[in-house]
Amino acid sequence: MEPELETIRQRIIKCTKCELSKTRTNSVPGKGNFLSDVIFVGEAPGKNEDRNGEPFIGIAGQRLTQALENAGISRESIYITNVVKCRPPNNRVPTISE
């Protein structure tokens, strides 16, 4: 992993800048090939992502993986992330400040 990207990843993991840091289990930094021409960006982590600290591993992630496989693309070859890095309580829509 690029040193700069690892620095950003560590900042995300340790972030306490909003109220979501008080209710999350894990923050969820992006994963995969950051230099890829293909990047998938979701809204915010869900329950499974919060529990494991990895993006797109729940139902949406399973569907994404299947779609990628159908297209002959591996998850490792793309970058997957969310705009908001922590799960909002009850999977509500994130606020602008989050």
80-95 per-position pLDDT tens digit: 999 999 999 999 999 9
Cα–Cα distance measured from residue 19 to residue 79, given in angstroms and rounded to the nearest whole number: 27
Q: How confident is the model at residue 97 (pLDDT cuts 50, 70, 90)?
A: very high
Q: How confident is the model at residue 4 (pLDDT cuts 50, 70, 90)?
A: confident
Annotated domain spans of the chain? 3-91
Cα–Cα distance measured from residue 21 to residue 40, given in angstroms and rounded to the nearest whole number: 23
Q: How far apart are the first and last CA of the chain?
A: 26
Mean pLDDT on 27-56:
96
Query: What confidence score (pLDDT) does residue 1 get?
Result: 63
Whole-number Cα distances in Å, 13 to 25, 30, 45, 74: 11, 11, 13, 25
Supply the CATH classification number for the domain 3-91: 3.40.470.10
pLDDT exceeds 90 at position 2: no
Query: What confidence score (pLDDT) does residue 3 get?
Result: 86
5-21 per-position pLDDT tens digit: 899 999 999 999 999 99
